[in-house]
Structure 1
């Protein structure tokens, strides 16, 4: 299993996995839209996409978006997406991706990685806790749909 930064050359494989990720979160399959979305991320370089590959096949990914902490005046990453192909789950792939994200964050001066997951996603919560992530209860998170 190898984990590396994805590039434009991986667009087709990652798009298929990204589409399945969206379906996992009860969205309609739309491979063309998934491809267009990721193509735009690559073109604008506005996210970091790490992929896990097994024998040349991309089997998992995590996508990180840059943000900043005004208080610390340092960069922050928002880990928005983490997905592993069903056949490769429970084999440490998600942990490899998370560790690669942490290592890259340290190498690039990122002060923290933030993430959120559904309350029902017990497997993800267990993974995050095992890697040292803590639930941040001192802040209320709000969202406005526009």
Structure 2
């Protein structure tokens, strides 16, 4: 297994995995968004590749605005991470996160942050296993007027 920086040639494989993470999106929407982000200086995608198959990805960004619990700026941010189910629990996510942390560090970050939905116990447990600490919980509200 190798970790590589995503390029436009892997865009469809990347978007296909992202749709598994965020099934409420559309292929067209994510493809357009990710195609633009591939060339952003504030974002990077790394892919986990086994043979010729992309089995996971991480999307990292630099956030300059406030990040919950942060004490610095910019902060590297895990925008999304996904590994195909049959490849989980093999250290792939950890290696993707390490690549993202190194990228963040190379750009002057001293902290990396992430988030997880309140009901996503698996993601919360994963973050804690790889050394992240919980800094806040929120419940968001909205009202149509």
TM-score above 0.5, yes or no: yes
Offset of 1:119 from its aligned partner? 2.1
Offset of 1:67 from its aligned partner? 1.4
Offset of 1:133 from its aligned partner? 0.7
Give the Cα separation in 2 of the matches to 1:42 and 1:129: 29
Give the Cα separation in 2 of the matches to 1:93 and 1:102: 14
Offset of 1:144 from its aligned partner? 7.5
Give the Cα separation in 2 of the matches to 1:69 and 1:46: 13
SS in 1 for 2:118: coil
Give the Cα separation in 2 of the matches to 1:96 and 1:103: 11
Structural mapping, 1:18-57, within 5 Å: 18-23=18-23, 27=24, 30-57=26-53
Alignment-derived partner of residue 2 in structure 2 = 2
Offset of 1:58 from its aligned partner? 0.9
Offset of 1:59 from its aligned partner? 0.8
Alignment-derived partner of residue 97 in structure 1 = 96
Structural mapping, 1:124-143, within 5 Å: 124-137=123-136
Alignment coverage as a number of residue pairs:
140
Offset of 1:68 from its aligned partner? 2.1
Structure 1 segments, 4+ long, off by >3 Å, are: 43-46, 69-74, 139-145
Alignment-derived partner of residue 11 in structure 1 = 11
Q: Give 5+ residue unaligned stretches, structure 2.
A: none
Q: Give 5+ residue unaligned stretches, structure 1.
A: none
How large is the Cα RMSD of the aligned pairs? 2.5
Offset of 1:10 from its aligned partner? 1.3
